[in-house]
Structure 1
Amino acid sequence: MSQDSYHPPAKKFKPGSPHSNPNWRGAMQPGPRKQPVPIDQQRRGLPIYQARAQLIGQLRQLESAVIIGETGSGKTTQIPQYLYEASIGRQGIIGVTQPRRVAAISLAARVSEERKTELGKLVGYSVRFEDVTSEETKIKFLTDGMLLREAIGDPLMRRYSVVILDEAHERTVHTDVLFGVVKTAQRKRKELGKLPLKVIIMSATMDVDLFSQYFNGAPVLYLEGRQHPIQVFYTKQPQSDYLQAALVTVFQIHQEAPSSHDILVFLTGQEEIEAMTKTCRDIAKHLPDGCPQMTVMPLYASLPHSQQLRVFQNAPKDHRKVIISTNIAETSITITGIKYVVDTGMVKAKKYNPESGLEILAVQRISKAQAWQRTGRAGREDSGICYRLYTEDEFEKLEKMTVPEIQRCNLASVVLQLLVLRVPNILTFDFVSKPSQDSLQSAIEQLDLLGAVEKKEDQLILTPLGKKMAAFPLEPKFSKTILISSKFHCTEEILTIVALLSVDSVLHNPPAKRDEVQAARRKFISSEGDHMTLLNIYRAFKNLGKNKEWCRENFINSRNMMMVLEVRAQLRDICIKMSMPIESSRTDTRNIRQCLAHGMFMNAAELQPDGTYTTVETHQLVSIHPSSFLFHCKPACVIYNELLHTSKCYMRDLCVVDADWLFEAAPEYFRRKLKRTKN
């Protein structure tokens, strides 16, 4: 993989001014959209195809390997097939993990198409709350979180003969834990004389020494990629408003480039993307004759699946496709036709502070590795151009690699999973990148407060409640809330609320129809907060026979609502297996809110005399998010689902509770808090 082709010499451009690149005109000669190439021919045309025989020969001999291949080399779709075709790992399943469900689903669909089989037969996928596999499945794409859950039931991973950990450079918390779990399974299978487990780590970035060392010096195999040359442009001055700079850049390209050249823009989240999509569509309507038509498509995780799939389709003749995406499009998925990438240099990521106990979703700068990942999207099929909406100096100051998620997130779920996996000592677990002792201790304290763990002879063990909590594929606070709901006689309602909070938002809020949205929602709004409002919406949806037309009229995402039904059914099944009584509180909402307070007491905030809110745990100043149904209210005490940090720290998904309920939930915890405040 030649570095020269991937890191082209920097050129400068200034949003809003004509391009200063002398080669610009030459790079934009009109060209028709390419005709689709037959699938077999596409497979043979991938850079990895040249290395097929050599690769199979090496992988047959090795028990662990690290494979580096540039984005677009074909490694994710082809290596599982090469292994299968060469009868390597046919004794079990070839599992391929992905950090994101969209990637797992679209890759499985692509590979089953290449193998000319029905999805769910030879090739299948498994993501949270959705399993499309069968007894015949031999190549299985799954999210890293799903493989981790499977390992809880079977730590030796007996069903798998090969595990491919793909997109390892993304360093999601589940991938990092899987490294340790897979390494242990591989060692134990060897010791017990069982069928060996082959482990393949795949990454698109060069920084893989860490992975190789971790797997006892596993060989690193480099795939020569055919990454097409990409020109990179930086801005001359720092941009104070990256959204405005992105908008200007998109229309500058649109007015000069041929319509067959599509654009991919990286923004940070759903609200930004929806607003930018609307603005682009509005401006495109009023462009002079002679300008191509513009087809603008948003792409983010909570978008209905059918709308996500639209981005893979070609735009109509004389239309340019403009995709406005989160970092979901950074890896794994190939969107055809992309010639231009507009990189704002920003991403929304979680940061956890164990001292304050705050997990905050904040907009921050990307790393250099992410910047190159984004740039690579422009050269998948042809030469491309990437506009970075930051200066070259700003680029040089970026961190080299993204900080692994395990070092910046709340580890309560991770610790719970490791305890179920019977890890003897959490503090000495073999992490690739060790989280801080403070983070691990903070997670243990949280689980202790929730009643999930206890110390016995200096050994941390799960309580009977903790074992039950681990059976749910949920954050510990939600598992606990479900498990105590029978005490409050409202399990039916709590299952609904937790299911609603576990899927992407069921509320569809098109900015252009704000007044219509508000009018439609008025009849569901509860003065007791967002949880109760969502419960009202769910009940209406169910009573009206799960009607899609009703969803459209009330701006409800019908696919996500159907997902809520599936999630709820699965959670209910887990409760039934535990012989939990499942009751409904009907019209009484007090005990539902009481139950939520008992499960989520660590996420509470109180109104101060000056009209602001502070969190009960750390006295952090917080505000009610504008999307909350309580935005114009000032309840004395609330619990929230998460904190989001943009211009200030916002609470999302709120429920009005009584301060006394919080004290009842964890008297010792709140006594300690009061003591600290007085001191």
Structure 2
Amino acid sequence: MSEENNPAETAEVCAEDVDCPGEEAFGFGDDLELNQFDGLPFSSRYYKLLKERKTLPVWKLRCEFEEALVSNQLVIVSGTAKTGRSTQIPQWCAELCLSAQYQHGMVVCTQTNRQQAVDLALRVADEMDVNIGHEVGYTIPLETCCSSDTVLRYCTDDMLLREMMSDPFLEHYGAIIIDQAHERTVSTDILLGLLKDILLQRPELRVVVLAVQPMTDKLLKRYGSIPLINLEASCPAEVVHSSSHNKDYFYSALRLVLEIHRAKEDGDVVVFFASDEEARCAQSILQREGTRLGADLGEMVPVVLCPGQGGLLAFLTKQPDSKTSRRVFLSTQQGVDMCWAIESLNFVIDTGVQKKMVYNPRIRANFEVLEPISQCQAGLRKQLSGPTEESQLPAENTPQILESNITPTALFLKRMEIAGLGQCDFIDRPDPEGLMQALEELDYLAALDNDGNLSEIGIIMSEIPLEPQMAKALLASCEFDCVSEMLTIAAMLSAPSCFLKPPAGLSHEAVQCHRKFQHPEGDHFTLINIYNVFRQSQREQYINSEKWCQDYFLDHSALKKAEAIRSELTDTLNRIELPISDPSFGTRTNTLNLKRALLAGFFMQIARDVDGAGNYFILTHKHMAQVHPHSGYGAQSQKLGLPEWVVFHEYTLSENNYMRTVSEMSPQVFIQMAPLYFFYNLPPSESKEILQGLLDPDGNRKRKDEKQKAASLSSEAGSGCAVMPQSYDRCVIQ
């Protein structure tokens, strides 16, 4: 970072009004009446907020941080959100870049949660006395609030990764802050792995990593002699621990809430549950129980703390409506960083467990597990239990890269190799089996060439912000003239589910409403029906689309998000100059072409009803599954029966091993679209033999004879069976 300095461009004084080494060279100086970022006079609110900022724990270490940033490429800061690290450190980095007149770039700060990125950007713009979207902005999926004047930008970690597609060495930035590194998301881990190489290529770049122990210890071992700045935050809240070994942890936590409320002690309560479903269930129970409590205890207001809620920060900082009112915030691990804003928080109840989805690469499916939280997570929740309790918890969060489908990660890293970046230096290397399965899947999708590098199709797939299988299906739709419909399917499956869970007693009405949209060809086609009717309701002046969604038990916000995703995907196809066909949904040709395009991407996800009773055999891993009850086939099965062959979007290991988003497909179309080298690698089964018979009727009879002859020879000679050749033609859609 250059040490050129403009005397007029200086910042606030350090917390203790002492000189920091290097501050003159980097523009760290006395307060001025003019804002150094926009040249306008400071408002009175700026000075009010500045007074509050100086009380934050991080401010005491400002001089130490600035000195470390001047002298080192990489600085690690250990501390929780309550220290003010996520708001102050990015501002100090912006001052550093300003002192160099941005000749090395601007500042970006990553977050693992999109709403957190927005809330922090709004707060920092307020503190810096500038307009949001100008000097301070944010970028989250489907929403950008920035301009050419932006010098400090908050964004989600996955959005910064996507930027690397066009700027692999992140040359647009002079300082990069990786916040919440301890969350160990896939995107954050990849950023940390790639930044190690980028720092070698760009000696002027500054990187700050914000995390908590034991992640900071792991980073120190990884990077060697680099500065570590420790922040400590006071914790006035009383923490009540509900042991994770208690099978009744859910109701134990609710009983603790009621006991606290009956004790009439002041303050709000936060309860950490294992999942969002538990938090919503707890809200319903507490609302019901609250009506039975005496009026003398005051009102109890249960609130689900969901990270995606807009305007949540203002609500959290607001005091309760009355002295007798108590708010009970019901959260999961994703809501931890928002709890710093609850000024009236006095009690934390921690169940000590979490529910998470873990990917099994062998069967290409997720399964839900209930497991204890880590000591790191417990510490973040202000869990100050004794050594006995802590020893029962794992030391750190499990990296998501070890539990996720890493096929999209493999595709991205292959793209980065083309851009000139070296191998990603993973903090924790992905499981070799998962990595091999990811590369195999990319090969099946024709995303790799014969040398294992990205093919032309792979390069185009990496440009599309979708899972590789869906990206391939969208590319295939360009050849089959059904792009408009496939864009809708991709958008609806990328957005949250559009089906609302009906209130108690209205389940039958909801099923009847949803049945009106059902398409006989399957759930993918039903999603197109829903989207098209929703768009029509928006165009009709006399229809209120929100009310229409409510009447049909559909989620308006989910459909609006699908609309935004579809628009983004359309822009992407236009940018890479792929053709977009006119809509022709409902015609026989369009239906067939849509199935072809779907199978071009999802040929690995086919199943056959083996007994006519809805017990489906999945050909890729020989598991049995059933259609999810919310599927259109679930509602139609008694009247119309279930299709024999289906393609599905998602398979989850659960009590009934459900397939979600299921559509009928023809085995003939599957044979046409699936690569032969994938087909012949399918494990042996009756279903495979049926398909093989369709592929080569005469040869199938001959192979049966040869198999019987080989078996008899094998029994006589004691030799094994022959191995199928592995070299076959690739998929029709290249």
TM-score range, shorter chain: 0.7 to 0.9
Tell me which of 673, 678, 695 is aligned to 1:669.
678
Tell me which of 446, 469, 479 is aligned to 1:487.
479
Cα deviations across residues 517-569 of structure 1 (Å, max 9, x unaligned)?
Answer: 33432322334433222222211111112622222323333233222222111
SS in 1 for 2:357: strand
Cα distance change of structure 1 residues 489 and 240 upon mapping to structure 2, 3 Å threshold = same
1:616 equivalent in alignment to 2:619? yes
- TM-score by length of structure 1 reads 0.84
Aligned to 1:50: 60
1:93 equivalent in alignment to 2:139? no
Cα deviations across residues 362-412 of structure 1 (Å, max 9, x unaligned)?
Answer: 443322222222236xxxxxxxxx8x9xx9867533321122111222211
Residues 241-252 of structure 1 mapped to structure 2, 5 A cutoff: 241-252=248-259
1:181 equivalent in alignment to 2:194? yes
Seq. identity, %: 28
Q: Which amino acid aligns with 1:153?
A: S
Tell me which of 546, 549, 569 is aligned to 1:548.
546
In the alignment, the residues of structure 1 paired with residue 300 and residue 245 of structure 2 have an alpha-carbon distance, to the nearest angstrom, of 28
Q: Which amino acid aligns with 2:440?
A: E
Aligned to 2:573: 575
1:218 equivalent in alignment to 2:230? no
Q: Which has the higher strand share?
A: 1
In the alignment, the residues of structure 2 paired with residue 182 and residue 617 of structure 1 have an alpha-carbon distance, to the nearest angstrom, of 37
Select the structure with the greater relative contact order (CA < 8 A; seq sep ≥ 6).
1
Tell me which of 316, 329, 332 is aligned to 1:323.
329
Aligned to 1:433: 428
Q: Do the aligned partners of 2:242 and 2:352 also contact (CA within 8 Å) in 1? A: no
Q: Which amino acid aligns with 2:401?
A: I
Larger radius of gyration: 2
Q: Do the aligned partners of 2:303 and 2:327 also contact (CA within 8 Å) in 1? A: yes
Aligned to 2:6: none
SS in 2 for 1:125: strand
Aligned to 1:462: 454
Q: Which amino acid aligns with 1:59?
A: L
Cα distance change of structure 1 residues 286 and 107 upon mapping to structure 2, 3 Å threshold = same
Give 1:64 deviation, angstroms: 0.6
Aligned to 1:123: 136
Aligned to 2:496: 504
Give 1:216 deviation, angstroms: 4.4
Q: Which amino acid aligns with 1:286?
A: R
Q: Do the aligned partners of 1:103 and 1:333 also contact (CA within 8 Å) in 2? A: no
In the alignment, the residues of structure 2 paired with residue 223 and residue 183 of structure 1 have an alpha-carbon distance, to the nearest angstrom, of 24
Cα distance change of structure 1 residues 184 and 608 upon mapping to structure 2, 3 Å threshold = same
1:157 equivalent in alignment to 2:170? yes
Cα distance change of structure 1 residues 577 and 622 upon mapping to structure 2, 3 Å threshold = same
In the alignment, the residues of structure 1 paired with residue 527 and residue 317 of structure 2 have an alpha-carbon distance, to the nearest angstrom, of 32
In structure 1, list runs of 5 or more residues that go unmatched.
1-36, 191-195, 377-385
Q: Which amino acid aligns with 1:585?
A: S
Give 1:50 deviation, angstroms: 1.4
Q: Do the aligned partners of 2:645 and 2:667 also contact (CA within 8 Å) in 1? A: yes
Give 1:265 deviation, angstroms: 2.1
Q: Do the aligned partners of 2:117 and 2:140 also contact (CA within 8 Å) in 1? A: yes
Give 1:515 deviation, angstroms: 4.1
SS in 2 for 1:66: strand
Give 1:581 deviation, angstroms: 2.4
Aligned to 1:24: none
SS in 1 for 2:442: helix
Q: Do the aligned partners of 1:155 and 1:181 also contact (CA within 8 Å) in 2? A: no
Tell me which of 348, 351, 357 is aligned to 1:350.
357
Give 1:427 deviation, angstroms: 11
Aligned to 1:102: 115
In the alignment, the residues of structure 2 paired with residue 671 and residue 611 of structure 1 have an alpha-carbon distance, to the nearest angstrom, of 26
In the alignment, the residues of structure 1 paired with residue 128 and residue 493 of structure 2 have an alpha-carbon distance, to the nearest angstrom, of 37
Q: Which amino acid aligns with 2:68?
A: Q
Q: Which amino acid aligns with 1:285?
A: T
Q: Do the aligned partners of 2:470 and 2:601 also contact (CA within 8 Å) in 1? A: yes
Aligned to 1:561: 559
Give 1:355 deviation, angstroms: 3.0
Give 1:63 deviation, angstroms: 0.9
Q: Which amino acid aligns with 2:585?
A: R
Q: Do the aligned partners of 2:609 and 2:616 also contact (CA within 8 Å) in 1? A: yes
- TM-score by length of structure 2 reads 0.78
Q: Which amino acid aligns with 1:532?
A: F
Instruction: Note the aligned Cα RMSD (angstroms).
Output: 2.9
Give 1:172 deviation, angstroms: 0.8
1:397 equivalent in alignment to 2:392? yes
In structure 2, list runs of 5 or more residues that go unmatched.
1-46, 540-544, 690-720, 722-734
Cα distance change of structure 1 residues 424 and 471 upon mapping to structure 2, 3 Å threshold = closer
Greater shift in the superposed pair: 533-542 or 500-509: 500-509
In the alignment, the residues of structure 2 paired with residue 648 and residue 426 of structure 1 have an alpha-carbon distance, to the nearest angstrom, of 44
Q: Which amino acid aligns with 1:358?
A: A
Q: Which amino acid aligns with 2:516?
A: K
Cα distance change of structure 1 residues 348 and 655 upon mapping to structure 2, 3 Å threshold = farther
Tell me which of 145, 160, 166 is aligned to 2:179.
166
Aligned residues: 620
Q: Which amino acid aligns with 1:606?
A: R
SS in 1 for 2:367: strand
Give 1:220 deviation, angstroms: 1.5
In the alignment, the residues of structure 1 paired with residue 598 and residue 426 of structure 2 have an alpha-carbon distance, to the nearest angstrom, of 34
In the alignment, the residues of structure 2 paired with residue 426 and residue 621 of structure 1 have an alpha-carbon distance, to the nearest angstrom, of 43
Q: Which amino acid aligns with 1:445?
A: E
1:111 equivalent in alignment to 2:124? yes
Q: Which amino acid aligns with 2:255?
A: V
Q: Do the aligned partners of 2:186 and 2:399 also contact (CA within 8 Å) in 1? A: yes
1:72 equivalent in alignment to 2:100? no
Aligned to 1:138: 151
1:41 equivalent in alignment to 2:41? no
In the alignment, the residues of structure 1 paired with residue 86 and residue 185 of structure 2 have an alpha-carbon distance, to the nearest angstrom, of 18
In the alignment, the residues of structure 2 paired with residue 90 and residue 516 of structure 1 have an alpha-carbon distance, to the nearest angstrom, of 63
Q: Do the aligned partners of 2:110 and 2:179 also contact (CA within 8 Å) in 1? A: yes
Give 1:244 deviation, angstroms: 2.4
Give 1:307 deviation, angstroms: 7.0
Greater shift in the superposed pair: 621-630 or 174-183: 621-630
Aligned to 1:374: 381
Q: Which amino acid aligns with 2:621?
A: T
SS in 2 for 1:494: helix
Q: Do the aligned partners of 1:295 and 1:315 also contact (CA within 8 Å) in 2? A: no
Cα distance change of structure 1 residues 232 and 285 upon mapping to structure 2, 3 Å threshold = closer
Cα distance change of structure 1 residues 492 and 330 upon mapping to structure 2, 3 Å threshold = same
